[in-house]
Structure 1
Amino acid sequence: MPTKVEKDSVTGRETTGHEWDGLKELNTPLPKWWLYVFYACIAFGLVWVVIYPAFPVSGATGLSGWTARGAIGPELEAERAKQEPMLARMRAATPAEIAADPALRSYALAGGRIAFANNCAACHGSGGQGAVGGFPSLADDDWLYGGGFEAIHGTIAHGVRNGVDADARGIAMPRFLADGLLTAAQVGDVTEHVLGLTGRATDPAAAERGAAVFAENCVSCHGEKGEGNRDMGAPRLNDQVWLYGGDKANILRSVGYARAGVMPNWSTRLDPAIVNMLTVYVHALGGGE
């Protein structure tokens, strides 16, 4: 870089001394208006830091004591006050009564859709379609515990095998292979029998042997023909709806090591009115009874 001032021969302005491919950079100062705006922004920022919250800590850090959380509080309270008359009606009515009242039903479906998206869609899907891996579809007519208003409300309110609600749905299925209740050969045979309930057995002799194993160990929960038991939450085995997959490998895994899905008890997390709205919404997804 040159030590003496060099001027551009065309413009007469000083250069910075930088040159790229024969092009020299002019030492052009910033416009005064731009500098003034820049300094004003710095001054404004310093004043803001003093008056309003500007540091990533809990609570107000500015002299004004203002916080966004504090400012929105009155707005939320005002909104709750507007909704309270309708919510009180939702709490006082049963889901069946709500569904029978056009005004309440319309409100419940709108509120239930929002509550479902916020609390249930992560597991059951945005449309209640469910997912393989223990997340039942709520849009068909295959129900583990029943698809009526009362049954749906009980499942939402108390949950499934959550260990915190005495009225939670479901019991644990035995781990027939892991706990030595059946041999590997017996588990293979009963799997063939279960496949045979939907006409998919690949080994008729094994399926016949498995029928005896099924009668001794599985009928009390799943029924003689695999029709299931809603009182216990035992799924049907004679249809094509499977929580964990209906191929041979997945059925072997279920029989040998058991499955035990868990669902929270929403009665301790949501307002009773919201639970009622969710019940009406789930019932209306398409599979309600």
Structure 2
Amino acid sequence: MSEKKVDETTGVETTGHSWDGIEELNNPLPRWWLWTLYATIIWGIGYVIAYPAWPMISSATSGVLGYSTRGEVAAQIAEHEAENAQLVAQLNEADLATLAPGDDLHRYAVSRGGAVFKAQCSQCHGSGAAGATGYSNLLDNDWLWGGDIENIALTIRHGIRNETDLDARYSEMPAYDEVFEDDEIDAVVEYVYSLSRSEADATLAAAGSELFLDNCAACHGDNAEGNRDLGAPNLGDAIWLYGGDRAALEYTVRNARYGVMPAWGQRLSDEDVRAVSVYVHSLGGGE
């Protein structure tokens, strides 16, 4: 049996391990640290026995306590739905146009609709519903398909130009790149630009006016005030979905636009559709 070696400098026994002449001291761990380690091991063993822990093929071990965080959340959701069941039933049966701001049902619809909007709609329309290029501002009173609550609900439920709902709002502007010559496109763009700008070229705009009446007025109207039945925007109010400068207008005339909105009636419950409709209508732009 070899004799234990003691470090001369510290007087501590060494382990016998040496690296480049440096020997490892055999300093034992503090007792409190060891007991803490043992306690955590015992606690860990108890935890994996009591709670779900080990992943299996299609689930995890349930543990002797049968605890489930998903089950706890499901119970809380069920409790919440039970508390609001009467309001949900009233919301599903209510005439949305007659809901009076300030009453319990209207407050509930706005609160619920606001939560749905933030979770499902804010990604496109913005957290404050002010929209962005290509995504409608829901705060103003400029509506492509109508801003009364029935039309808002219809748009939300069926969407716009999607291919999943046969009742989706649908309109399509032709691309005039192969219809008009370049100078004709310039003239139409100048005319549309002149409807909301005073610095337009009057001569060029006058030529564009004739082209507009022959080709565009069928949807946008003789006075370019739009047609909500067709989703055709008002071109004279200086409110633009894709931008109203000459470059943006030229791109629109040449290539057209084809924005798509999903049919939320296929994804949300009817009460959620109705609630978010009330919420959008209450933002200030609803008619």
TM-score above 0.5, yes or no:
yes
Q: Distance in 2 between matches of 1:56 and 1:213?
A: 70
Does the Cα contact within 8 Å between 2:160 and 2:262 map onto a contact in 1? yes
Which amino acid in 2 is paired with 1:234? A
Query: Unpaired segments of 5 or more residues in structure 2?
Result: none
Are 1:152 and 2:152 matched, yes or no? yes
CA RMSD in angstroms, aligned pairs only: 2.7
Query: Unpaired segments of 5 or more residues in structure 1?
Result: 19-23
Does the Cα contact within 8 Å between 1:60 and 1:66 map onto a contact in 2? no
Q: Superposition pairs for residues 101-250 of structure 1, below 5 Å?
A: 102-132=103-133, 134-177=134-177, 180-200=178-198, 202-250=200-248
Count of aligned residue pairs for this structure pair: 278
Q: Distance in 2 between matches of 1:97 and 1:202?
A: 45
TM-score normalised by L of structure 1: 0.86
Which amino acid in 1 is paired with 2:137? S
Does the Cα contact within 8 Å between 2:48 and 2:63 map onto a contact in 1? no
Name 1:87's counterpart in structure 2: 88
1:174-207 Cα distance to aligned partner (Å, 9 max, x none): 1111xx2222222121111110111255433322
Q: Distance in 2 between matches of 1:7 and 1:112?
A: 78
Q: Distance in 2 between matches of 1:57 and 1:42?
A: 26
Change (3 A) 1:145 1:71: same
Which amino acid in 2 is paired with 1:151? N
Deviation at 1:259, TM superposition (A): 0.7
Q: Distance in 1 between matches of 2:112 and 2:83?
A: 14
Q: 2:238 aligns to what SS in structure 1?
A: coil
Change (3 A) 1:95 1:7: farther
Between the aligned residues of both structures, percent identity stands at: 42
Q: 1:74 aligns to what SS in structure 2?
A: helix
Q: 1:120 aligns to what SS in structure 2?
A: helix
Q: 2:29 aligns to what SS in structure 1?
A: coil
TM-score normalised by L of structure 2: 0.86
1:21-63 Cα distance to aligned partner (Å, 9 max, x none): xxx9976432112122223323433454455234386522345
Change (3 A) 1:175 1:28: same
Moved over 6 A (4+): 15-18
1:3-32 Cα distance to aligned partner (Å, 9 max, x none): 9642445xx4468999xxxxx997643211
Q: Distance in 1 between matches of 2:56 and 2:224?
A: 58
Does the Cα contact within 8 Å between 1:7 and 1:14 map onto a contact in 2? no
1:86-128 Cα distance to aligned partner (Å, 9 max, x none): 1000000021133367111111111111111111111111111
Does the Cα contact within 8 Å between 1:15 and 1:25 map onto a contact in 2? yes
Deviation at 1:211, TM superposition (A): 1.1
